[in-house]
Structure 1
């Protein structure tokens, strides 16, 4: 069964009593199942609550505009509208804030304002935002070696890497991020995190890590010197998360709750998926509602909002731009710092991005924050990213 857009007939996934169309454990995150699964992770995997606390919700004023008919460019390069592009890119939720006020908010595919949606690698940016709070409190030092926090890493390829190296994905550790290969390092992370079972037919001599920390301890090869170059390694965020846990004596879901989610005035409690020993999946297992993703972006637009240190926000916008080796095909002038993607060295606007179309965008020139949650039929799509990025600029110009 192929995937479906919001304008297509919707198959009855997990409908009925009992349901007839049920995602399997092997394929729940693949199309078309991801169109249901990304909004229903707690029915699939064990999770730990990121409590929003009892303080008042940070209100988002409403200054709404109907942007449905705003002219933008389609994925194929033709003229379309914003509403058309949101359909074309399998959108589940989309919100735009201008100077902290909601100007546009849309939900599709059964999503509601209360729905928690899987963020994939946007989780990296949320984790790093929380790390910035800990740095500001003196509990973490980005110049310290990761072995200062986790001595066991002395026996791995992470020996000699700093916390800043893992924040910027410049550790030099060998990690294969081939999403479609179940035996790659990222495929093994699917198993160690509890997202997937051991693949059927796996050889008896292949040793699968039992949990994420065990997988980290098994990384023993370097592909280059620490700090030499950027290479996207999801496991770096797990190392960061474990350093945060050792520095505070708390589990990651508690740290994010105490240091970010509660002070931010989140609207809903969030959640992390957890592995067999209760470790939160820092690199991709975070789930939250659409408005709360926008609130995270607003903290950055507000230069920390009194929660994240201003210096951390400024550092996050100051990546190392290498024209010969851009970090992403859709960001030819881009760079990467503190688990955020920097659009270009002039605007220094930033993206949190996750596979299958998750995104938070912060642009200081326009004064806007946008969050987009999706369930694409493919892990990665440069055309989808480019069209969405162009639409965000069209929105920013329109609202200027």
Structure 2
């Protein structure tokens, strides 16, 4: 079955009692199933709460502008409107904050202001920000070897790598981020994380990892010297999270709750998916509401708001840039678990597969959040069109 856009008829996924169309365990994250699943993770996978606490909620003022008809380009470069692009790119929620106020907010595909939506790899930036808080406190030194904190990794490809190498994804550890290959390293993450069962019909001699740390310990090879080049590998974020847990004696969900979520004035408690050992999946298992993702982006735009160290954010905005950094970010860079759009704007980005985005731009004083459920893991044309639309919104709002 193919996926469907918001303007198209909606199949009765998980409708009725009992429902007749239930997402398959092996493909719940693929279209069309992800259009339902990304908003209902707690009904599919085991999760742990990231408590918002009993404190304040950061209320947004509203200075709304109707941007539905804003002229932008679609994924083929043809003229369309912002509303048209949001439909084309399988949008579930879209938020624009200008000067800390809501300028534009749209919910699609059944999503509401209270719905938790899967972040995919935007979770890396959440994890990296809490890491920055701990580093600012002197609990972790990014210049030290990874094995200072996780001595077990001396027998892995991380031997000789610094923590900063892990933060920037410049270790030489061999790891395949081939999403469509179920036997690739990232395919094994699906099983180790508890997201997917062992694929039916798989080689009975193949030993699948039972949890995330077991998979980390198996990664013993390197493909280059540490620090030589950036290569996007999700497992690096999980290494960071285990360092954080080892140093503090607390689990990741508790750290994110106490150090970040209770302080940014969240509307709702968030959650992480967990593996069989109770480990919260740092590289992509975080779930939160549209506005709370906006609150996180605004906190970063406010140079940490006294929560994340301002010097950590400044350092994060400085990276080794292109050319040809990535197909959708030719002048981009990567630092401290954030993407940097280009060396001129130094705008930060949290990005995740299937179309997740938080764009944070100091020049326009704007945060844009897009939550999506693309049919495919990556669609470069959708990503490029979305970035052009973000710039068009910035120009329109002045």
TM over 0.5: yes
The whole-number CA distance in structure 1 between the counterparts of 2:58 and 2:160 is 41
Q: Does 1:106 align with 2:106?
A: yes
The whole-number CA distance in structure 2 between the counterparts of 1:203 and 1:365 is 53
The whole-number CA distance in structure 1 between the counterparts of 2:171 and 2:292 is 31
Provide the aligned length of Structure 1 versus Structure 2. Answer: 398
Map of 1:381 onto structure 2: 379
Which aligned pairs between 1:194-273 and structure 2 lie closer than 5 A? Answer: 194-273=194-273
The whole-number CA distance in structure 1 between the counterparts of 2:314 and 2:302 is 11
User: What does the per-residue CA deviation read over 1:121-169, in whole Å, with 9 as the maximum and x for residues that have no partner?
Assistant: 0000110011111111111111111111111111111111111111110
Map of 1:275 onto structure 2: 275
Which aligned pairs between 1:98-247 and structure 2 lie closer than 5 A? Answer: 98-247=98-247
Q: Does 1:347 align with 2:345?
A: yes
The whole-number CA distance in structure 1 between the counterparts of 2:225 and 2:6 is 46
The whole-number CA distance in structure 2 between the counterparts of 1:278 and 1:23 is 24
The whole-number CA distance in structure 1 between the counterparts of 2:10 and 2:202 is 35
User: What does the per-residue CA deviation read over 1:217-269, in whole Å, with 9 as the maximum and x for residues that have no partner?
Assistant: 01000000010000110000000000010111000000000000001111110
User: What does the per-residue CA deviation read over 1:287-328, in whole Å, with 9 as the maximum and x for residues that have no partner?
Assistant: 0000011111111111111100001110110011132x51x2
The whole-number CA distance in structure 2 between the counterparts of 1:345 and 1:286 is 29
Shift of 1:189: 0.3
Shift of 1:37: 0.1
Map of 2:395 onto structure 1: 397
The whole-number CA distance in structure 2 between the counterparts of 1:260 and 1:144 is 24
The whole-number CA distance in structure 1 between the counterparts of 2:132 and 2:296 is 13
Map of 2:11 onto structure 1: 11
Map of 1:366 onto structure 2: 364
The whole-number CA distance in structure 2 between the counterparts of 1:204 and 1:74 is 46
Shift of 1:92: 0.1
Structure 1 109/135 Cα, relative in aligned 2: closer, same or farther at 3 Å? same
Which aligned pairs between 1:51-90 and structure 2 lie closer than 5 A? Answer: 51-90=51-90
Map of 1:34 onto structure 2: 34
Do the aligned residues in 1 keep the contact of 2:354 with 2:375 (CA within 8 Å)?
A: yes
- Please give the secondary structure, in 2, of the residue aligned with 1:346: coil
- Please give the secondary structure, in 1, of the residue aligned with 2:262: helix
User: Which 5+ residue runs of structure 1 have no aligned equivalent?
Assistant: none
- Please give the secondary structure, in 2, of the residue aligned with 1:264: coil
- Please give the secondary structure, in 2, of the residue aligned with 1:272: strand
Greater alpha carbon shift after TM alignment, 54-63 vs 271-280: 54-63
User: What does the per-residue CA deviation read over 1:362-382, in whole Å, with 9 as the maximum and x for residues that have no partner?
Assistant: 011111001000000110011
The whole-number CA distance in structure 1 between the counterparts of 2:313 and 2:2 is 41
Map of 2:316 onto structure 1: 316
The whole-number CA distance in structure 2 between the counterparts of 1:141 and 1:298 is 26
Shift of 1:184: 0.2
Map of 1:50 onto structure 2: 50
User: What does the per-residue CA deviation read over 1:2-25, in whole Å, with 9 as the maximum and x for residues that have no partner?
Assistant: 000000001110000100000011
RMSD (CA atoms):
0.7
Using structure 1 for the length normalisation, give the TM-score.
0.99
- Please give the secondary structure, in 1, of the residue aligned with 2:195: coil
- Please give the secondary structure, in 2, of the residue aligned with 1:49: strand
Q: Structure 1 segments of 4 or more deviating over 3 A? A: none
Shift of 1:96: 0.3
- Please give the secondary structure, in 1, of the residue aligned with 2:314: helix
